[in-house]
Amino acid sequence: FYEVHEVVVRKLGHVPIAKGDFHYLPKKVQRYVAKWVQICKPRAIYICDGSQDEATEVIHKLEERGMLHKLKKYQDNYIVRTDPADVARVESKTWMCTEQKYDTVPHVQPGVVGILGKWISPDEAAEHLENYDGCMAGRMLYVIPFSMGPIGSPLSKIGVELTDSNYVLLCMRVMARVSNDVWHFLREGDGEFVRCLHSMGCPRPVQRKTINHWPCNPEKVFIGHFPDKREICSFGSGYGGNSILGKKCFALRIAGCIARDEGWLAEHMLIMGLTNEKTGKETFLAAAFPSACGKTNMAMLTPSIPDYTVRCVGDDIAWMRFDKDGVLHGINPEAGFFGVCPGTNMKTNPNAMLTCMKNSIFTNVAETADGGFFWEGLEDETDPHVTITDWLGNNWRRGQPGKAAHPNSRFTCPAGQCPIIHPKWEDKKGVPISAFIFGGRRPTGVPLVYEAFSWRHGVMIGATVKSEATAAAEFAGKSIMHDPMAMRPFLGYNFGKYLDHWLSLEKPPHKLPKIFHVNWFRVDEEGQFMWPGFGDNVRVLDWIIRRCEGDDSIAIKSPIGYLPKKGSINMDGLGKINWEELFSLPKHYWTSDIEENIRFLDLQVGEDLPQAIRDELAVQKKRIEEE
Ligand code: SAT
Ligand code: MN
């Protein structure tokens, strides 16, 4: 099947190799590429090396085609508009495929629609895979070697993405470590890699009318994961988590399964380091929030008090392993930030703004006539007279109904450009994690911060995370949704087993992080936020760090966990904060909340729910009733 000319293979079957040396790829990769080339029938194969020349070439092609153009206000920033039918992750078409259904999803109660992952049988998946037949006709197939995590770190994993989208290639270059070195590493190591196939599902000649030069196939979207084969097959969408496969598909769903098998954690968590300016001591925290809850803002927080210096290790995903002394070490497997644009500005997140002043890709944002980006939240930082074009390409006037930028519009920027990126963010050992923080948007009932009584109690708190719905997925409207561990859309296997895995970590010599829950979003009777949030959140983190250091004088027991003792959070200079209300635990709220949680987990996880979690729920219910 391979045609050898001199040393360099120029053709694979009849398909020319436009760039790269096929022979140089490890044998397993060759077989993987050859298999899909035969099925997808691209016009040529382009083996990526991660070089700058490569980026220049691809960007040039995309510019020529009109799919992307330069934002001339900055250095190498580009704007892309998608087909309006392809703007977010498509959870309804995201599947985990295993032989056994209950390896993937829990035993939900009869008649209940499970929301903790979607299972598809190998036979049904095979039907979707038929769509790949000829799906790349007339298009280039890019072979992308990448590492999640620093190349060569024992905590990292290798992937190879095949895609017919050069936009995806550009994003992968930012979000993962795309490099020729990956081939060396694969050859020298165990040779294992995660197989990532992506197609826009638009072979030439194109059947469906292409909008904004953005080929996609919304009717046939399929995001399939095959954990037993360490394989991902994505079809029909070019957007974010659907197509940048190193991110949620690999680093959370597939890695979640690998982590279960190998005894570590792959979580939807930011990692940040806070250095106490007086003592010089640094503490690392990992925090899990549902998509679009301000995780990126927290990861790069600008402290409002001088006590701490904050540095960012990662804003979305954490891979964590206990070392031989039982210390949990975490890395950020990604190399870039894929952040929500609306709401991001020099006040809410100056570090994110400064990170994306160059070498970044903006998707579905609005544009100013002088070549700048624009989105909701940038009003005060944008010339009021400048003409604005909205994300759909229409003229847009301030104050008109509707949004200039899509609510899920994103910046894709290299993490290394972040002004407060941690010097150890690429450290192969990772950083030691002292605490896990869960949170969500909880307008009522939930205090600013509380601490779990124990690891098990903390796992229960994580299992009952809820939040107001976001724009990151296809849901409309605002409702409080369960998002256990902030992993609901990203679970790679049965959530009951996932909880078992978390519980199983409580064993020697593991030094378990303390677990906390925070809520920046509580509102008062007038609907006003009770807590200023953003840079002032460092005051809460300060309390958390002092708890990690063992300060017993600052906490009091409550039915739901330890609460800060009145006055133990630094509120200097904050103006009026209603401590009582911010920390109140309305009994009727918590009574119905615990009942709702018990019902939810019973319906959704059923017999797979670990007894330890049932017990924690029962004890918490009793504490609330007896209060
Ligand atoms: O899944 S995406 O990578 O598109 C973004 C998110 O949901 O946080
Ligand atoms: Mn996320």
C-alpha triplet 399, 405, 408: angle, nearest 5°: 135
CA of 531 from ligand 2 middle (Å) equals: 23
CA of 574 from ligand 1 middle (Å) equals: 33
pLDDT of residue 13: 87
Interacting residues of 503 by C-beta distance below 8 A, sequence separation 6+: 455, 456, 459, 610, 612, 613
Residue 469 banded pLDDT, cuts 50, 70, 90: confident
Question: Residues with beta carbon inside 6 Å of ligand 1?
Answer: 89, 240-241, 247-248, 291, 338, 472
pLDDT tens, position by position, 27-65:
999 999 999 999 999 999 999 999 999 999 999 999 999
One fold for 266-332+425-626 and 337-417:
no
pLDDT tens, position by position, 337-387:
999 999 999 999 999 999 999 999 999 999 999 999 999 999 999 999 999
CA of 88 from ligand 1 middle (Å) equals: 7
pLDDT of residue 291: 79
List residues bridging with 215 in a β-sheet. Answer: none
Q: pTM of the prediction? A: 0.96
- Identify the CA nearest to 138 among candidates 204, 183, 45, 197: 204
CA of 222 from ligand 1 middle (Å) equals: 16
pLDDT tens, position by position, 243-301:
999 999 999 999 999 999 999 999 999 999 999 999 999 999 999 999 768 899 999 99
**Residue 486: DSSP 8-state:** G
Residue 1 banded pLDDT, cuts 50, 70, 90: low
The three-class DSSP label of residue 477 is coil
Which protein residue has the closest C-alpha to ligand 1 atom 3? 241
Q: SS3 sequence, 279-297?
A: CCCEEEEEEECCCCCCHHH
Over 80: is that where the pLDDT of 584 sits?
Answer: yes
Residue 137 banded pLDDT, cuts 50, 70, 90: very high
User: Does 293 participate in catalysis according to the annotation?
Assistant: yes
Q: In ligand 1, which atom is closest to the CA atom of 88?
A: 4
Report ipTM for this prediction. Answer: 0.95
Q: Does domain 337-417 have CATH number 1.10.260.40?
A: no
Average pLDDT over residues 74-103: 97
Average pLDDT over residues 475-499: 90
pLDDT of residue 627: 86
CA of 290 from ligand 2 middle (Å) equals: 7
pLDDT tens, position by position, 186-199:
998 889 999 999 99
Instruction: Report the 10 Å Cβ neighbour count for 565.
Output: 14
Q: In ligand 1, which atom is closest to the CA atom of 473?
A: 7
- For 450-482, letters b (16+ CB in 10 Å) and e give bbbbebbbbbbbbbbbbbbbbbbbeeeeeeebb
For the ranges 360-369, 461-470, 573-582, the lowest mean pLDDT is seen at 461-470
Per-residue CA distances from 88 to 83, 91, 193, 411 (Å)? 11, 9, 27, 14
**Any idea which ligand is nearest the CA of 289?**
2
List residues bridging with 557 in a β-sheet. Answer: 562
**Any idea which ligand is nearest the CA of 475?**
1
Q: How far apart are CA 104 and CA 235, in angstroms?
A: 21
242, 248, 268: which to mutate for ligand 1, most atoms within 8 A of CB? 248
- Residues in the chain, how many? 627
Q: How far apart are CA 147 and CA 251, in angstroms?
A: 10
Q: SS3 sequence, 66-79?
A: CCEEECCCCECCEE
Instruction: Report the 10 Å Cβ neighbour count for 144.
Output: 26
CA of 268 from ligand 2 middle (Å) equals: 6
Q: How far apart are CA 128 and CA 234, in angstroms?
A: 10
Which protein residue has the closest C-alpha to ligand 1 atom 1? 241
Q: SS3 sequence, 567-615?
A: CCCCCCCCCCCCHHHHCCCCHHHHHHHHHHHHHHHHHHHHHHCCHHHHH
Residue 3 banded pLDDT, cuts 50, 70, 90: low
Q: In ligand 1, which atom is closest to the CA atom of 472?
A: 7
414 φ/ψ sector (left φ>0, alpha ψ -120 to 50, else beta): beta
Task: Write out the DSSP string of 325-370.
Answer: TS-EEEE---SEEEEE-TT-STTT-HHHHHHTTBS-EEES-EEETT
- Identify the CA nearest to 170 among candidates 273, 89, 57: 57
| Mean pLDDT, rounded, of the chain | 96
CATH of 266-332+425-626 among 1.10.287.1120, 2.40.110.20, 3.90.228.20, 3.40.640.10: 3.90.228.20
Average pLDDT over residues 497-522: 98
Q: In ligand 1, which atom is closest to the CA atom of 316?
A: 8
Helical pair 587-605 and 611-626, crossing angle rounded to 10 deg: 160
Amino acid at 540: V
Average pLDDT over residues 114-137: 98
Contact 467, 479 (CB under 8 A): no
pLDDT of residue 189: 84
For the ranges 20-24, 168-172, 334-338, 361-365, the lowest mean pLDDT is seen at 20-24
Of all residues in the chain, the percent with pLDDT exceeding 90 is: 93
87, 291, 316: which to mutate for ligand 1, most atoms within 8 A of CB? 291
List residues bridging with 198 in a β-sheet. Answer: 163, 234
CA of 386 from ligand 2 middle (Å) equals: 33
pLDDT of residue 77: 98
Average pLDDT over residues 453-457: 98
247, 269, 467, 475: which to mutate for ligand 1, most atoms within 8 A of CB? 247
CATH of 2-47+92-262 among 1.10.1270.20, 3.30.460.10, 3.10.20.30, 3.40.449.10: 3.40.449.10
Residue 136 banded pLDDT, cuts 50, 70, 90: very high
What is the β-pairing status of strands 308-314 and 373-374?
unpaired
Q: How far apart are CA 404 and CA 396, in angstroms?
A: 7
Per-residue CA distances from 275 to 306, 334, 536, 539 (Å)? 11, 23, 16, 13
Domain edges within the chain: 2-47+92-262, 266-332+425-626, 337-417
Which protein residue has the closest C-alpha to ligand 1 atom 8? 291
Per-residue CA distances from 513 to 318, 397, 461, 485, 545 (Å)? 14, 49, 14, 15, 11
Residue 475 banded pLDDT, cuts 50, 70, 90: low
**Any idea which ligand is nearest the CA of 241?**
1
Q: In ligand 1, which atom is closest to the CA atom of 489?
A: 7
**Any idea which ligand is nearest the CA of 409?**
1
- Identify the CA nearest to 368 among candidates 379, 360, 352: 379
Contact 86, 237 (CB under 8 A): yes
pLDDT of residue 10: 84
What is the β-pairing status of strands 308-314 and 269-276?
antiparallel
Residue 479 banded pLDDT, cuts 50, 70, 90: confident
> Residue 277 is encoded by which pair of tokens?
């300016």
Residue 612 banded pLDDT, cuts 50, 70, 90: very high
Which residue in 196, 293, 356, 413 is the catalytic one?
293
Over 80: is that where the pLDDT of 100 sits?
Answer: yes
Q: How far apart are CA 562 and CA 9, in angstroms?
A: 64
Q: In ligand 1, which atom is closest to the CA atom of 89?
A: 4
Q: How far apart are CA 192 and CA 169, in angstroms?
A: 21
Which protein residue has the closest C-alpha to ligand 1 atom 2? 241
Q: SS3 sequence, 20-85?
A: CCHHHCCHHHHHHHHHHHHHHCCCEEEECCCCHHHHHHHHHHHHHHCCEEECCCCECCEEECCCCC
Over 70: is that where the pLDDT of 474 sits?
Answer: no
List residues bridging with 269 in a β-sheet. Answer: 288
- Identify the CA nearest to 249 among candidates 161, 330, 185: 161
Instruction: Report the 10 Å Cβ neighbour count for 10.
Output: 14
pLDDT of residue 190: 86
Average pLDDT over residues 334-339: 97
